[in-house]
Structure 1
């Protein structure tokens, strides 16, 4: 059985399908000793090379991708290397032999909470691309409290770099003193979007925790700096959720907000 080359490369965890198409156009991929072309089909007997290195793909298209839930602590970067020597989230992940871990979106240095990793570029793309409108939910602690007018403004949309951004929902999470918690939901993942939206209405975020990505929630007992790998059934359900599989599963219960300190 043959499949499109860019799909097979993405399924092997080398990147998203769009990235693989760019690699093919750039001449980085060869099939059976010849430069690959967009739309080319490959099968188990084909010999594929990326940047001159062989890639074993004979079972890649049918292999179930792996997915990790990682509880990112503050102070870690979502990058494999950093000129400043700051700790990376990738140092905690299990090693892979024939693929690589792909981060699904990012959390900035001072943010914490749920970060997803997968070996499937196609799955990562489905979860991140604005076209699929996958929800991200955050617990946000701010200095001060939102007025009804500010809440309405954030629901209707504020300007971020000339583009409107809005919260799908805002829920009051309580708090005492100068700090107050909110639960917010967005459907895209622009750089520092949640922080910048609160700043647009005059409030500063003092803590930001991602608690949900799509239907996947941050497990309450998952310690910071630790990961949890989804089972095959859970991965199959996730693939179904984003249109890449054929099974389903019920949503997980919603966790409580962390207490204000």
Structure 2
């Protein structure tokens, strides 16, 4: 079955649909030796080249495993593939996928730990990051300084930051003693350091920040810092459904070898306070219960 060029290439991890559409407009993609045009479709057997390079692998284009990996990122690692400052990257800790490459769903800054989702499915990554889907990102935050009820209401209502207004979709106290207190917050934007900047706008400083959930995916309890786990079964299907994509079971051929290379750990049952929304698009934040 023929599909639009940008859809096939995005699914195989060659870029976002929008970025690939720009490449088509700029004449950087050819199909069977002819310059591609927006709206063109391709099918198995077509020869696709990007920017005059070698033909793209048919196996990667048409038999792409829909793999999703969860990584518990420690503080001190960056989310780029190659860091000019020589800092350790998350990709140094990960096994290579059978086909394609890992695409990170969003980023965490060097001082933030917790859940990173990676996938070989570029279409899934694009959907999960697209602002229109308003995916929940839940964080456990330790702040230094007094937090009043007025401050919490300001953070719910929205605060003007240098790059526009931002707010927490939900915020709940989670205990603490002395000057340090824990909160669980939900934000539906992927803007740089937005969680830290929102707290700083109220005169308090974030002393620790951990992502514990992204959309329907909750970080498993057994997943130790610096370790990874494959997302499988109903959890994987639920993630695809949350962005209106269809999950296709992997081919049985070679599956045993894949599982040997990428052995999953048992997923933990999520605590009630991190319960993910069952609605497809997460446009309403789930209520985070107290601790």
**Does TM, scored on the shorter chain, surpass 0.5?**
yes
Structure 1 unaligned spans of 5+: none
Shift of 1:96: 3.4
State the Cα RMSD in Å: 2.0
Residue pairs, 1:31-110, within 5 angstroms = 31-51=31-51, 52-57=53-58, 60-61=61-62, 63-96=64-97, 98-110=99-111
Tell me whether 1:195 sits opposite 2:212 in the alignment: no
Whether the 8 Å contact between 1:65 and 1:235 is mirrored in structure 2 is no
CA distance in 1, matches of 2:92, 2:60: 27
**2:22 matched to 1:22?**
yes
Q: How many residue pairs get matched?
A: 254
Alpha-carbon distance in 2 for matches of 1:59, 1:96: 11
Structure 2 unpaired stretches of 5+: 249-267, 275-291
TM alignment of 1:103-122, pairs within 5 A: 103-122=104-123
Following superposition, the deviation at residue 193 of structure 1 comes to: 0.1
* Structure holding more strand per residue: 1
Give, in angstroms, the shift of residue 59 of structure 1. Answer: 7.0
1:114-153 matches, cutoff 5 A: 114-153=115-154
User: How far does residue 23 in structure 1 lie from its aligned partner after superposition?
Assistant: 2.2
- CA drift of 1:27 comes to 2.5
Find the aligned partners of 2:174 and 2:225 in 1 and give their Cα distance: 22
For 1:205, the equivalent position in structure 2 comes to 206
Q: What residue is the counterpart of 2:180 in the other structure?
A: 179
Deviation for aligned residue 1:254: 3.0
| Corresponding position: 1:167 with 2:179 | no
Aligned residues of 1:103 and 1:115 also touching (Cα < 8 A): yes
Asked whether the equivalents of residues 71 and 115 of structure 1 are also in contact (C-alpha less than 8 Å), the reply is yes
Q: Is contact 1:69-1:114 (8 Å) kept?
A: yes
Q: 8-17 or 200-209: which moved more?
A: 8-17
Deviation at 1:73, TM superposition (A): 0.3
Deviates more, 1:96-105 or 1:1-10: 96-105
Structure 1 residues 53 and 235, CA gap change in structure 2 (3 angstroms): farther
Quickly say closer, same or farther: Cα 1:86–1:139, change in 2 above 3 A: same
Separation of aligned partners in 2, 1:243 and 1:64: 18
Q: TM-score, normalization: structure 1?
A: 0.91
Contact kept, 8 Å, 1:216 with 1:252, in 2: the verdict is no
User: Is the contact made by 1:103 and 1:116 (CA closer than 8 Å) also made in structure 2?
Assistant: yes
SS in structure 1 of the partner of residue 69 of structure 2: strand
